[in-house]
Amino acid sequence: MFKVLIIEDDLKIRDIILENIQKWGYDGLVLRDFNKVMEDFAEYQPHLVLLDINLPTFDGFYWCGKIREISKVPIIFISSRNSNMDIIMAVNMGGDDFVQKPFSLEVLLAKVNALLRRTYSYVDVEVNVLEHQGVVLNLKDNCVLYQKQKLELTKNEFKILYMLMKNNGKVVSRDEIMRKLWEDESFVDDNTLTVNINRLRKDLADMGLEDYIKTKRGQGYII
């Protein structure tokens, strides 16, 4: 089932869109905390985003740019602003379509349906990011994002963080991590793993993520 994320602060419009998205057989989610846009995006993994321009704190152009840093998901702007500059900005920021308020629900849903069909007809739907506690791991470019900071990880650091985030709340043993790293024919022993873990911890601490990775003595690591 296709998932549609609705980023709209007008409660009436938001709820009407959600109701009709669901009537069409899609799964829908409305954003309720506009300070957690990227966290909710990463957790929900939508196939399409409906994005208003006028939003609290940061506008839709800003959030479109942030989404485009980690995903090529289709984005349709919905806005009462209709100047040529707004439409040009929407396209330049990576938007796929622009619907002006007040709009016909039939037109909006037709655009949603067409864009989903066009985007996903010939490709498998992929998960591009992992998110946990506000930390976003981009699976496409080995980067970690946190509070507007972006850090490129080494291949081993990425694999370690990927395993820990995918198993968040569970202890991952050193042996499991070393087996994963060995798959890539890297030379990994106890000392090499310790060096990689310490370097990853330091990088995360520099981003403000002190103690994000915890050691369970005699067991392994957990986030």
Say if CB 200 and CB 154 are below 8 A apart.
no
From the centroid of its chain, how far is CA 57? 19
Mean pLDDT across the chain, nearest whole number? 88
Rounded mean pLDDT, 173-189:
77
pLDDT of residue 122 exceeding 60 = no
What letter would DSSP give residue 120?
H
Q: Which residues pair with 7 in a beta bridge?
A: 51
The structure's pTM equals 0.61
In terms of phi and psi (left: phi > 0; alpha: psi -120 to 50; beta: otherwise), the region of 172 is: beta
**Amino acid letter, residue 82:** N
Greater pLDDT, 136 or 62: 62
Please give the average per-residue pLDDT across 173-195, as a whole number: 79
8-57 pLDDT, tens digit each: 999 999 999 999 999 888 999 999 999 999 999 999 999 999 999 999 98
All structural domains of the chain = 3-120 (3.40.50.2300), 129-222 (1.10.10.10)
SS (H, E, C) 21-39: HHHCCCEEEECCCCCCHHH
Question: Is the pLDDT at 118 greater than 90, yes or no?
Answer: no
186: pLDDT confidence band, cut at 50, 70 and 90? Answer: low
In the predicted model, is pLDDT for residue 125 greater than 50? no
161 vs 109, higher pLDDT: 161
Within a 10 A sphere around the Cβ of 36, how many other Cβ atoms?
13
Average pLDDT over residues 148-167: 90
Average pLDDT over residues 93-107: 89
Q: What is the DSSP letter of 172?
A: B
Answer left, alpha or beta for residue 192, where phi above 0 means left and psi between -120 and 50 means alpha.
Answer: alpha
Tabulate helix, strand, coil % of the chain (nearest 5). Answer: 40, 20, 40
